[in-house]
Structure 1
Amino acid sequence: MTLKRIILGFLTVFLLVFFIGPSLLGSWQQPQIQSRLELYQTNLLLHATEWQGEPGEEANSKSLRDALIGIEPLKNAQKQYQEAKEQAETNLAKAKAQAELLPAKTEQLETTITQLQDFINQVDLRLGIFQAKQGESEIAIQTWQSVIKRLEAKNSNSQSGKTAEILLGLWNQPAQILPSSEATIKKSLDGWFRYQALSQLYTTQQREEALSQLKAAEQEIAEQAVLKLAIVGAVPTIGFLIGVGLLLFLLIQRAIKGKDSLLARNGDLSWSTPWDGETILQVFVAGFFLMQILVSVLVLPITLKLLGLDTTNFDLRSKAFLVFVNYLLVAAAALLVLYGSIKSFLPLPEGWFRFKILDKWLFWGFGGYLAALPLVILISLINQRIWQGQGGSNPLLSLALETKDLVALGIFFVTAAIAAPIFEEILFRGFLLPSLTRYLPVWGAIITSSLIFAIAHLSLSEVLPLTTLGIVLGVVYTRSRNLLAPIFLHSLWNSGTLISLFILGSGG
């Protein structure tokens, strides 16, 4: 055994034990972004319930609004929040049980418990507003009192407790207006819930002008909410239906035409791979995973410290730019390792890293995107049942959801929709998939490379959906034999995700 193989073996075990394994296990305790997305969409729906339309067009506006928000939207939204609370309570119980088994709580576990407790209190504030809005003031008061009692038991001076006291006072009989009510409501509540609380406050204070201005502002937001709901609801639905039709067409064509069908094209054609598994391991161990650690944990933090920059004080634009720089450094380092690993095999056999502009890559990429939509959506629904809102998500998604700044969104877009597709498709479809055909049939190489692609994102809840997406990317690449096709598909997917996040995040 050579020294190189010993070092590679050591690095592989080290990364599995101290980086990949802990990252995946750590993500098990983290909430999925999907749960937040559902609540963000619910918040848009709540705004839409207030839309009255233009004068003289109330009937048409009501028909459109009802088609988008459905029957009994408040009850449905309340149910959504109640389910989110119950899931959070389940996860909190699991986290506390896990903490009892440990000799000392980890910082991550303490943070998770605190976040879940705060989330439950925040949801109860909103559930109380639902109840009060539907004439159940006594139940609402009990809900807010439960928040106050929980925080008093912990001797906590939380903002949630102050907000609960203010809401309780506003809906009590007789009403009681506490000091700084307006400022606290604006700070603690958002969206439709802020509107309802402020409306109750201004009505109690008999501030007609402030109430009139509030209702006018809410009408503008409600009109925008209707448009956003149409986009985030109708567009994916149309894409889903077209995708189902496309999949049925491809399967029927495969059954009728056999090896002459689009799905069977190049399906059994392997690449001529001049290197062995040692080179594959070298590229991913030393090039991909190790470079992530070196850049993210050592190079970038040390550089920022030398420049006197404190990331805790970064605004969203700065965070977006930092993510972009970090990604570029990791990608550049990994591609350099890739080049160094295969340099001795140049020139490569025909078909490797093929970029052909005058080809049908747009056709393959867009078709693959439509086919991926129903597959990934269905797998994601199953995935939600498995992980019950846990399993973590890509941190970039949370940042993008918070983004109301177009400059920050533009930086995220360049990172996720341009840099990521180019780098990841070169590495996973351009290098890994063809390399694996030395040892596996093409379909086996597609599945294996897709699973590694999913695991590389280091979130347990994303393994199944990303493996499914990776399989579609692999099929598109092996059939088209043009890296531009999966790059285009990958870019479309990430672009659609970012746009949806921005629309939902700007819903308040």
Structure 2
Amino acid sequence: MAHHPLIPSHNQSDAIMCAIPSFHVCNFHDFHQSRSSQALRLFAFFLSRNFSALETNTPWDSSDIWSTLAGYIFALHIPLSFGGVSFVAQTLKSSPDPFTMVASIIVLQMIEFLGAMVLLNYTAKTEYHISSFFIEKLFSEKRSSIKASATGVVFLIGSMLLTSIIVNNLIEPKVWEALSKRNEGGGRSLRDGTPSREPHEPPDVSNPIMKEMIFDSPLSKTATAFLLCFTTPLLEETIYRGFLLTCLAKEMKWWEAIIISASVFSIAHFSIENSLQLSLVGTILGSVYCWSGNLAAPFVVHSVYNAAILLLTYMS
């Protein structure tokens, strides 16, 4: 029987049928490679030097970075942050009321901030004016500070919620279950016989001192909000991002500088139980600052984060 030229033969049909799936596989493979290459390029950009918008010129020499930081920690931060309230109590010869306490902390942090600015100005190169340097950092528009702030807030709040869920539902119940098995008193602490928290019971995340300050009076509540949302972010962002991270980014890769500055930020709080959380906060704030080159961006993120903590404490 003659074969019609427009109808494929059996061998041609097999070839076509074999070619069709290979064509789709080839397209899918190319598409997959394209998406993978885009992801790799994005990841490479994230790890590249181009991610950071920080300048390489800083007011401080490399040899002065750690000595300046040590001077701030031991001469200003520890005496004022950890001994200042005790000094106020001794001066008043009584335990300060909540408003007096929060007002004292605000004054102490402002003194610490001014002292830090004097120290940074003293250790800076003579051709730099520190006030002009930080003002320029606050209003730098190399990249969108609004986009950086919004992204930082989303990442910070999201990561905090995620870590809280992991700790409360996975890690902490196992810890309390292990402790209860070792506890021969059946829910009593081994040391003094007082009731301990039952396994799987959610932790009390509220800060009793903070709750006392925000529930004392409207004036105390306002002062606490000012402390957490302005004074503290201003001081910490100036030191740990504006000074330390800026200097470290000149000496090493930007992501290494972020990790080191975040670790120092965590250690400076002298809080072992919150060290991982503080390191995560410092990492996100450092990333926001590195990408934007704008010190106002991490300040906004820090303020919003502290406001969220204040709100959660108020609602708890």
Smaller-chain TM-score bracket:
0.5 to 0.7
The one-character-per-residue Cα deviations of 1:213-232 (angstroms, maximum 9, x if unpaired) are: xxxxxxxxxxxxxxxxxxxx
- Contact 2:85 2:105 survives alignment (8 Å): no
1:429 correspondence with 2:225: no
Give 1:281's aligned residue: 66
301, 304, 309: which one aligns with 1:492: 304
Look up the match of 1:42: none
**Higher RCO structure, 1 or 2 (CA under 8 Å, sep 6+):** 2
Q: How does 1:83-232 map to 2 (within 5 A)?
A: none
CA–CA distance in structure 2, aligned partners of residues 375 and 427 of structure 1: 24
Corresponding residue of 2:209: 399
> Any idea what SS the aligned residue of 2:123 has?
helix
1-structure distance, mates of 2:36, 2:108: 45
Say yes or no: does 1:356 pair with 2:133: no
Whether contact under 8 Å (1:429, 1:483) holds in the other structure is yes
Matched, 1:341 2:123: yes
Offset of residue 343 of structure 1? 4.7
2:108 paired with 1:326: yes
CA contact (8 A) 2:237 2:295 kept: yes
| 1:486 CA displacement | 0.5
- Shift in Å, 1:330: 1.9
Match of 1:372 in 2: 156
Partner of 1:32: none
TM-score by length of 1: 0.42
Structure 2 distance, partners of 1:388, 1:497, is: 25
Residues in 1 aligned to 2:161 and 2:38: alpha-carbon distance in whole angstroms: 23
Counterpart amino acid of 2:50?
A: N
Residue ranges of structure 1 left out of the alignment (5+ in a row): 1-250, 390-395
Residues 408 and 298 of structure 1: CA distance in aligned 2, closer, same or farther (over 3 Å):
closer
The answer as to whether partners of 1:268 and 1:441 remain within 8 angstroms in 2 is no
Contact 2:121 2:129 in 1 (8 A): no
3-state SS of 1:437 partner: helix
Coordinate RMSD, CA, aligned = 3.6
1:383-462 maps to which residues of 2 (within 5 A)? 385=171, 397-402=207-212, 403-404=214-215, 405-462=217-274
The one-letter code of the counterpart of 1:439 is: E
Which residue number in structure 1 is paired with residue 289 of structure 2?
A: 477
Q: CA contact under 8 A between 1:380 and 1:465: conserved in structure 2?
A: no
* Residue 32 of structure 2: aligned partner: none
Tell me the matched-pair count: 245
Distance 2:124 2:278 in 1: 27
- Partner deviation per Cα, 1:330-352 (whole Å, 9 max, x = no partner): 2221222112111525168x987
Deviation at 1:266, TM superposition (A): 3.3
Query: 1:240 matched to which residue of 2?
Result: none
What SS does the corresponding residue of 1:272 show, helix, strand or coil?
coil
Check 1:474–1:303 CA distance in 2 against 1; reply closer, same or farther (3 A cut). Answer: closer
* SS of equivalent residue, structure 1 residue 459: coil
User: CA, structure 1 residues 498+254, in 2 after alignment: closer, same or farther (shift >3 Å)?
Assistant: farther
Could you say which residue in structure 2 is the equivalent of 1:43? none
Amino acid in the other structure paired with 1:318? T
How far 1:357 moved relative to its partner? Answer: 6.8
Q: How far did 1:428 drift? A: 0.8
How far is 1:292 from its partner?
Answer: 2.6
Letter of the 1:354 partner, please give it. Answer: K
Deviation at 1:461, TM superposition (A): 1.3
From the CA coordinates, give the structure whose radius of gyration is larger. 2
- For 1:344, what is the secondary structure of its paired residue? coil
Residues 284 and 356 (structure 1), Cα distance of their counterparts in 2 relative to 1, 3 Å cut: same
The letter for the 1-side match of 2:210 is A
Distance 2:86 2:280 in 1: 34
Contact 2:52–2:290 (Cα < 8 Å) also in 1: no
Paired residue type of 1:323: I
